[in-house]
Structures are given as C-alpha cells and as structure tokens.
Amino acid sequence: MIAKKNLKLIIALFLLGASLGCFHEKNKKDSEAALLLGLLPQPVQDLEIVGNWTDNYGGSHVITNASWDYNTTGYTQQSVIVEYHNASNTLYSQDQSNNLYSRVVWTQIANNQFYSCTIVYYKATLEEAKNDPATADATDPATGGCGGFSWSLMTRN
C-alpha cells in the first residue's frame, strides 16, 4: 500500500514538474519574442522626445519609446529605438529597411521645439554605433554642428 502511494506521489510530482517545465518554456519563448520586438524591458522613464513632430524641412516624425518613424514626400523611414538615455539626450536606433544602427542626439525641448542630429549612421552593429567617436556641437544648432550641417529643428504638432 505504501509503495502504491509512493508511486502515485512520484507520478504526480513528475506530471507537475513536466507541466511547470512546459509553462516555463512557454513563458521563456514569450519573453524572448517580446524582447526581440523591443517590448522588454520596459523603460524606467519615457523617452523625453516622445510625440508627433514636424522638422524644418517639412518631414513628419512620430516618436515613441520604441520607434521613430519619419515621412516626407517620396521617402519613409521606420526605426526601432533599441536604447535611449534622456540624461545625455542620446538614442540608438535600428533602421528597419537595412537593419543598420544609428546614434541620434538632441537638445532639450524648449517652447515645444528641439533640435536633433543623427551623428552616427549606417553601422553594422549597435556597438559600432556606440563606439564611433563622432560628436555633435549644439552651440548653434541652427547653423551647424551636426557633421558639417545644421541640426534638424523639430516642432511639436
């Protein structure tokens, strides 16, 4: 009788362990899929430039914590934001058309406007985008400091 109870207990524990293992594998796969989609981990603080913006060239920008979509006549660019830092006004994105990485910097928002500069672009890896020595100068963004060009002025819609 005791051996039969032990056998039932062993079978019950085995089935419980198997079902927990399946549950763990499903959650692991769901977490991995969410991570690949840029959904995890959730940012501690929202990206400070989230919103709908128009640049000084007439382009339309929709920025979220997870993406930066740009549209202008005849051209569309969709980028996934893979990392951002409000303290340094820096983000890293991956262009969805070619899977290459960029580094964008921006100025503080004032009067519903900010300047942005893509200082590093078309890098094969995120590490290359991070380690590129290029810098931007925000002293006078309306006239220069962004790789030999002026910065883009973004105005909130």
| Per-residue pLDDT reduced to its tens digit, 124-147 | 999 999 999 999 999 999 999 999
Q: Looking at residue 32, what is its pLDDT?
A: 55
- Separation of alpha carbons 57 and 153, rounded Å: 9
Residue 44 binned pLDDT confidence (cut-offs 50, 70, 90): confident
What is the bridge-based pairing of β-strands 75-85 and 90-95? antiparallel
Q: Residue 45 CB: number of other CB atoms within 10 A?
A: 10
For 147-157, what is the mean pLDDT? 97
Q: Looking at residue 97, what is its pLDDT?
A: 96
Q: How many residues does the chain have?
A: 157
pTM over the 0.75 mark: no
- Separation of alpha carbons 62 and 42, rounded Å: 19
Q: Where are the alpha helices (DSSP H) in the chain?
A: 2-36, 126-131
Q: Residue 29 CB: number of other CB atoms within 10 A?
A: 10
Instruction: Calculate the average pLDDT of the chain.
Output: 84
pLDDT tens readout for residues 47-100: 999 999 999 999 999 999 999 999 999 999 999 999 999 999 999 999 999 999
Domain boundaries, the chain: 1-42, 51-156
